[in-house]
Amino acid sequence: MNYKATVTFCNLKPHNRERKSLKPREEGVVTQGVGKQIARVILHGFHGHYQGFQAITEQAKARFVARDWAAIQAAAQARISFYDERVHECVVTLQGKLQTETLDETLWTGVRQQYASFLQFHPQAELAETFFNSVFCKLFHRRYFHNQFIFVESTLAQHIPVAVETEYQSYFPVADGVRETIRQIVQDMDLGAPFADLEGDIQQLLRAFTQQASVKALSAHQFRLDVLRSPFYRNKAAYIIGRIVTEDAHYPFIVPVLMNRDGALYLDALITDVEQMLVIFSFARAYFMVKTRAPSALVRFLKGLMPRKTHAELYSAIGFHKQGKNEFYRELLEHLAHTDDQFIAAPGIPGLVMMVFTLPSFPYVFKVIRDHFPESKPFGRDTVLARYQLVKRHDRVGRMADTMEYSEVALPRNRFPPELLKQLQGTIGNTLVLEDDLVIFRHCYIEKRLIPLNIYLENADDDTAKRILRDYGDAIKEMVAANIFPGDMLLKNFGVTRGKRVVFYDYDEVQYLHEMTFRALPHTESYEDMLGADRNVSVAPGDVFPAQIATFVFPNPKLRTHFCALHPELLTPEYWQSQQKRIHQGIMADIFPYPQSVRFRGKKKPDKMSG
C-alpha cells in the first residue's frame, strides 16, 4: 500500500546558506553518482550514530560492576538525545554540499533507491531507514514525505530477515545436566564480578522453577534453553532473559542479577509470569541498555516472549526510542487504513494546559499544548516543553508514562467531527493547521491511554478503591524517591493501567524534589481553620504544605479517610524532607519492577537497587 504520509516527524524550515560541491543538477540531468554519494553520506552518518550509541550502551557493564549508579543514569539521559545530535550533524554536512530549498525529485528518488540497495543485508536496516527519514524530513517540506522519497513502509519485508539466532545462545541440558547448564549460562553472561554464592543461587533458581513455572517435571532431555547473549542493564540490575523450549511450547523467563554491599553478584529472583514481565518492560520505565548487532532479531525474540507488546514498545524498551516512534507511526497508519471511527475528546476532566483527544479504537491519546493557560498556571509553553523533556530523560521508575513527541502530525480531516474540530480550533488554534483533507498539528505528544484515576475510583468497590489508593500513594513515594515532585497530585492526572498499576501522565507542574520547600501549617483549633490557615501564611514559590494534600486531592471524604489511613506519612513535611536528605546524600531508592514475593530469600540485600 502506498500511503501518503499522515504523521510526520520534523518541523521543517528552508535554509539559506551558500552551497558548494555535489551539485544536484547538471543542465537538468541528474547523475547517478551524485545520488550514490548522498546515500553514502547518510549511511555514514547512521553508522556513526549506531557505533556511538553502542559505545555508550556497552559501558553499562563497567558502570554496573563499579556500582556507579549515578553514571548509569547520566548515560541513560545522554543516550536520549544522541540520535538527534547525529541527525543534525548529517543534515549540516548535506546542507554544505546541496541546494536544499527545493527538492530535485529525480535525484532523491534515486537516492532512496540507492540507499535501499545498501541495506539489503544490513544488520540494522530498519534503524538505518529511520535515520534516512529523519535526515530527509529535516531537509525538505512535509509535502514530500511519502513512499517515493522516504521509507514510509519498511523494505525489510522484501529482504531475508536477520536470523533471530544471531541474538541468542541455545543450551542443551541433556549434554551437561541442568545445574551445569545454568552455571554455564551465568558464566557466559560475563557480568564482570564474582558471585557471592552461585551454587546456592542455582539451587534457589531450580526451586523457584518447580514452584512457579508452568512447565514442570521435565527431564534434561526434554527441553533446551535459549538465552539472549547480552544481559539487559537498567539502573542497579542486570537481567538475564530467555525461554525454555519444549516440543509443545516456549516458556519465557527473566532472572534479575543484583550486587550486595561487598560488590558480589547474586541472582535475586525468577520471573516466569508474562504479566510480571510486561511490568519489567513497561512504558513507564527507563530504557534498557543492551548490546545488540541485529535489533530486529532481538525485538522478534522479545515479541515471542511477550506477544502483547508491540514492536514500537519493544524498540523503545531497548533504547531505540526513535525507531519506536517510527514503528508506532506505521501502526497508526495501518490502524487508520482499516478503521472508520472518529476522534473524540479524551474522557475525563479537561486539562488546563493540554487539549487531549483520542480515537476510541486506538489505545493512545494525542496531547497538544493549549494556546492560553489560566492564571492558576503561572508559566508558559516553554516551561511545559522543558518539563516533558525532564521526564523523558529521567528515570521514570515505572510510575511516569513515556511520551512520544512529534512535530507536524497530519491526520485525516474526515476523522474529526465538526464539533471537535471547532473545539480544537478554539483551544489550540496556534498549533493547528487545516490543509486540504488533513488536520495538521505542529507539535503533539502521544501517550498510552489509561483510565483516569478519578473515573476508576468512581466505579470501584470499597476493597478495590483501597487497593488502588495504596498504589496511588506508592506511586507518589516512588517518584519522590527518584527526585521527582509531581506538583499537581489531583487524581485526574494519574491513570490506571491494564495491570492495575497507577501511573502519572500530566507533567506540566513536575519539578525536582530537591528544589521544593516542604513546610508545616500553623497549629489550628478546627478543621475550618486548617482549610483557611494558609491565608495568613507567607508562601514563596516552591513552598508545599503536605498537610493539605488529602484535602486538596480528595473532596470525597471516604476516599480521603482511606488515603490518610494508608499513607499518613505523605501528610507530614518530615517525610518529604527526609526524602530530600536522601537525595542530597546520593542515595538511590530500592524500587523493584517485580513483586517482593518472587525474590529469593536468605541473600544479602543490595546496598541500593532500583528497577
Measuring CA to CA, which residue among 604, 573, 390, 396 is closest to residue 501? 396
Percent composition of the chain: helix, strand, coil (DSSP 3-state, to 5): 45, 15, 40
Q: What is the DSSP string of 533-573?
A: GGGGS---TTEE-GGGHHHHH--SHHHHHHHHHH-GGGGSH
Last residue of a domain, one of 334, 354, 379: 334
- If DSSP codes are grouped into helix, strand and coil, which group holds residue 14? coil
Whether 18 maps to a domain, the answer reads: no
- Residue 123 φ then ψ, to 5°: -70, -15
Domain boundary among 300, 316, 334: 334
Tens-digit pLDDT profile for residues 34-81? 889 999 999 999 999 999 999 999 999 999 999 999 999 999 999 998
Q: Is residue 357 part of a domain?
A: yes
Report the amino acid identity of residue 227: V
* CB environment 407-429: b (16+ within 10 A), e (fewer): ebbbbeeebbeeebeebbeebbe
Domain boundary residue, one of 334, 356, 373: 334
Closest residue by Cα to residue 466 from 551, 400, 569, 558: 558
Are 471 and 595 spatial neighbours (Cβ–Cβ below 8 Å)? Answer: no
pLDDT at 4 over 50: no
Same-domain check for residues 244 and 382? no
Tell whether 160 is in a known binding site: no
Taking only the tens place, the pLDDT of each residue in 105-132 is 889 999 999 999 999 999 999 999 999 9
Provide the annotated active-site residues: 402
Are 399 and 486 part of one and the same domain?
no
**Residue 606 included in any domain:** no
Q: Taking residues 154-172, what's their average pLDDT?
A: 90
Any domain includes 601: no
605 within a domain of the structure (yes/no):
no
Asked if residue 299 and residue 180 are part of one domain, the reply reads yes
348 is known to lie in a ligand binding site: yes
**Overall domain count for the chain:** 4
Do both 324 and 202 map to the same domain? yes
Q: 322 and 205: one domain?
A: yes
Domain limits for position 118: 32-158
Residues 326 and 243 in one domain: yes
Q: What does the DSSP 8-state code read for residue 524?
A: -
486 among annotated binding-site residues: no
Asked whether the CA dihedral 371, 373, 374, 380 is positive or negative, the reply is negative
Q: Give the residue, 280 or 150, on which the prediction is more confident.
A: 280
Phi/psi for 45 (5° steps) reads -60, -40
- pLDDT band at residue 248 under the 50/70/90 scheme: confident
Same domain (yes/no): 315, 174: yes
DSSP 8-state code for residue 96: T
Q: Confirm whether residue 367 is marked as ligand binding.
A: yes
Task: State yes or no: 14 annotated in a binding site.
Answer: no
Condensed to tens digits (0 to 9), the pLDDT of residues 370-426 reads 999 999 999 999 999 999 999 999 999 999 999 999 998 999 999 999 999 999 999
Distance CA(534)–CA(522), nearest Å, equals 8
238 is in an annotated binding site: no
pLDDT, position 297 = 97
- The answer to whether 424 and 411 are in contact (CB under 8 A) is no
Task: Scan for cell 515505572, then name that residue.
Answer: 398
* 555 annotated to bind ligand: no
Question: Are 533 and 475 in the same domain?
Answer: yes
Is residue 169 one of the residues assigned to a domain?
A: yes
Residue 5 lies in a domain: no
Asked if residue 246 lies in contact with residue 222, where contact means CB atoms within 8 angstroms, the answer is yes
* 135 shares a domain with 178: no
Any domain includes 13: no
> pTM for the whole thing?
0.90
